Structure 1
Amino acid sequence: MKILLFGITRDIIGDGSLMLAEEDSKGLSTVGELKAQLKKEYPELDDLSSLAVAVNQQYATDEESINGSDEIALIPPVSGG
């Protein structure tokens, strides 16, 4: 499963993308489960005020189903002027 990282999520994880091996993503069936797993591995993600997730370029809720062939994007809160 390929996870694209933007903004502060890129800084926290230390790269522009993250590849979850099949064995690491096997028990993950929803966006919420993926977010919980990533927050366990990268506790700083839990400090963000919000964290949107896109599945195959569409915003997704925590209940959205995912599978190993999906392209996931973590989209942190943004501010602008």
Structure 2
Amino acid sequence: MDVLYFAWVRERIGLPKERIETQAQTVAELVSELKSREERYEVAFSDLSALRVAVDQDLTDFDASIVGAREVAFFPPMTGG
């Protein structure tokens, strides 16, 4: 699956996108898996309340299933203006 990072998440991880193989069943499990990779992921995902997630371009929660998903995207909350 493709994992996309936007705004400061991308800056902390150092990648805009990566293709990964995972056994994770939910977004939360995927985050745990990513955090265990390297410190830069741990830093980027240290405060999940400051992040939003979309699975296959649908905004969702961290307990959402990613089984069969093609894409998971992480980004900070959007603001109007």
Same fold (TM over 0.5): yes
What CA distance in whole angstroms lies between the structure 1 residues aligned with 2:8 and 2:48? 9
What CA distance in whole angstroms lies between the structure 1 residues aligned with 2:8 and 2:17? 12
Q: What is the root-mean-square deviation of aligned Cα atoms in Å?
A: 2.1
Is residue 15 from structure 1 mapped to residue 15 from structure 2 by the alignment?
yes
Structure 1, unmatched stretches of 5+, are none
Structure 2, unmatched stretches of 5+, are none
Query: Percent same amino acid among aligned pairs?
Result: 40
TM-score (norm 1): 0.76
What CA distance in whole angstroms lies between the structure 2 residues aligned with 1:61 and 1:40? 21
Matching residue of 2:42: 43
Would the aligned equivalents of 2:6 and 2:16 in 1 still touch at CA under 8 Å?
yes
For residue 80 of structure 1, report the CA deviation from its aligned partner. Answer: 6.9
Matching residue of 2:62: 62
Matching residue of 2:26: 30
